[in-house]
Amino acid sequence: MTTTTQVGDEVLDYDDVVRDFDPVFGLEVHVELSTATKMFCGCSTVFGADPNTQVCPVCLGLPGALPVVNATAVESAIRIGLALGCSITPWGRFARKNYFYPDMPKNFQTSQYDEPIAVDGHLDVELDDGTTFRVEIERAHMEEDTGKSLHIGGATGRIHGAEYSLVDYNRAGIPLIEIVTKPVRGAGERTPEVARAYVTALRDLVRSLGVSDVRMEQGSMRCDANLSLRPRATGDQAQDAVPLGTRTETKNVNSLRSVERAVRYEMCRQAARLQAGLPIVQETRHWQEDSGTTTSGRPKSDADDYRYFPEPDLVPVAPDAAWVEQLRGTLPEPPAQRRRRLQSDWGFTDLEMRDLVNAGATELVEATVAAGAAPSAARKWWSGELARVANAEGVELGELAVTPVQVAELASLVASGRINDTLARQVLEGVLAGEGSPQQVVEARGLGIVSDDGALGAAVDRAIEANAAIAQKIRDGKVAAAGALIGAVMKEMRGQADAARVRELVLERLT
């Protein structure tokens, strides 16, 4: 059964899909800029405020209000464009995209249409096997976000079946950069992986520019995936001689993993339809995270008429060449290059480096190393214990109440033998609880390692007395049994004993 209903679409086995079809995809990624104020007014952009508290006549679209372009947003857009190797348009107008929707205050979106700020770039993305795939960038343009509709009642939280809807306009007018790829051809069976790797690379790039917090889970980076299939070329036909198939646009793909899964699913779904002789409907589809499928949205045709025309309330954006060059000078080292350099400097394996990057810890480790820690120690703390804490609390690593300088101090206390790893975890807990620097926590909590022979010797004597059988084994030459006695001493001293010295004292007495 092949059906066009929302659920239960047929899918074709992935191996069969890539044997018979050539996938072509394109991604539209929206990045919310982390400017202090909105795209066209002075309202705050802070995430999570009470609904409709960050609004004014401009972003509410009140009669008479007028937009003014946020210069910082333009600067961010240009820097993103430059980092993607784009040309920056020397003169470009905003345009109005007209359509009615309750969460869009003016019932038009101020966007850029045929004069985007940046055009014709590329992003080289690294795949898991270490190879690089070049994704061509069509354009990056500036626009404003819409408000957010909340549908109340009804089972799904979607508008269908809801009793009523509420709109929060805090998000209306937040600056967005939309980055659009050219159709990506030739990725073949690696298409889902390339899609994911592109979004990952774009996220890292934008993050390195410091212009957005690029959090997909908070919606500050959102992805729409276009996909079509065409038959594999036969004989000596060139693949690009085969016309492109009808595409679908899958919306709401809001995690890196989902990008890969959604593209893969659409490939399998479209292939099943094509195999069955059914047409692909040009439409918007919605990604369903739970079921791992896409469902049909509204039909979309090239004839969708937004009646674009140049925004008469704004003057053209005309960045002068000197300014653009000055901004080019502010671009950081490209993330991939930087990663390779740091990995080599630090002597990490590929796997170690990837974990670090995925945890978003590269900058933190770098700062920790700069504060004097050994790279391996810095990595161990950030991608180990601290990543665990951040994950448990649902925050970013950078939001934890510990600085790279403090982590370096902690590492130095361990390296000098003042504390061991077990104690270091307690110290870290104290630091995160706001008890001060690692040194202060060690002192306040009395967590220093005891290496004083008097106190240790007494504890060792007590341990020998209490574990006579084990002591005898050691005397008989079973040195390995010393561990049990050391453990007993450590237990008595609540982990604060210098384990190496305890071992020496045990062996001195029994051998």
Q: What residues make contact with other proteins under the rule CB under 8 A?
A: 57, 60-69, 96, 98, 100, 102, 105-108, 165, 167, 303, 305, 307-309, 312-315
Structure tokens given for 436: 């001060």
- Rounded-to-integer distance, Cα 25 and Cα 409, Å: 48
> C-beta of 115: minimal distance to other proteins in Å?
14
In degrees and rounded to multiples of 5, residue 181 shows phi and psi of -80, 160
With beta carbons less than 8 A apart as the criterion, state whether 175 and 35 touch. Answer: yes
Closest contact distance (angstroms) between CB of 149 and other proteins is: 9
* Distance (Å, whole) CA 346 – CA 352: 11
Closer CB to other proteins, 56 or 374, in the complex: 56
Q: Which residues are within 8 A (CB) of 372 and not within 5 positions of it... i.e. 6 or more apart?
A: 408, 411, 412
Answer yes or no: are the C-beta atoms of 150 and 2 closer than 8 Å.
no
Nearer to other proteins among residue 217 and residue 305 (C-beta): 305
**Smallest Cα–Cα separation from 372: which of 430, 438, 427, 434?**
438
Least separation in angstroms between residue 92's CB and other proteins is 14
C-alpha separations of 137 from 26, 91, 124, 147, 350 in Å: 10, 20, 10, 28, 28
SS3 for 137?
Answer: strand
**Neighbour tally for 422: CB within 10 Å:** 14
User: Closest distance between other proteins and the C-beta of residue 35, in Å?
Assistant: 17
Minimum CB distance to other proteins, residue 352 (Å): 51
Total number of residues shown for the chain = 511
Measured CA to CA, the distance from residue 408 to residue 365 in angstroms comes to 9
* Contact present, 343 and 369 (Cβ < 8 Å): no
The strand ranges marked E within 105-241 are: 108-111, 118-126, 132-144, 148-152, 164-168, 175-181, 221-231
Work out how close the CB of 287 gets to other proteins at its nearest, in angstroms, rounded to a whole number.
Answer: 24
CB 386 to other proteins: min, Å: 45
Q: Least Å distance between CB 199 and other proteins?
A: 31
From the DSSP assignment, how many helices (H) and strands (E) are in the chain? 17, 14
